[in-house]
Structure 1
């Protein structure tokens, strides 16, 4: 089940072996598995998604760069 959150700081991901890219500030949906989190967002007419290790997600949450929506 996806959880709603907001990107409020600098959150980056690496698509494949490319350069780091920034997830735009604003709403995201986060779906987690045992080992990773998948973040998806809409930026204008473009849709984006990336997977990251749970450790990275937890680091962004601890830094306050991602805030979870209250249920």
Structure 2
């Protein structure tokens, strides 16, 4: 299921075994499955995406760092 959302706080993801990388504040699209959430965004001409465990995504929503938009 796809949701429109906003990053309004500190949200980070990890690429492989690398360091945590921040996702800049602003609009995103979120695609969720039973296990994962994939966040996609555009920053100028750059498109980014990050996958994270659904538990991490739900934590960011509960903490208010990600705000889901009403459908």
TM-score by length of 1: 0.95
Residue segments in structure 2 that go unaligned for 5+ positions in a row:
none
Give the length in aligned residue pairs.
71
SS in structure 2 of the partner of residue 58 of structure 1: helix
The RMSD of aligned alpha carbons is 0.7
Residue segments in structure 1 that go unaligned for 5+ positions in a row:
none
Runs of 4+ in 1 over 3 A off after TM superposition: none
TM-score by length of 2: 0.95
Structure 1 or 2: more strand by fraction: 2
Q: Give, in angstroms, the shift of residue 44 of structure 1.
A: 1.3
Q: Give, in angstroms, the shift of residue 32 of structure 1.
A: 0.5
The correspondence of residues 1-71 of structure 1 with structure 2, limited to 5 A, is: 1-71=1-71
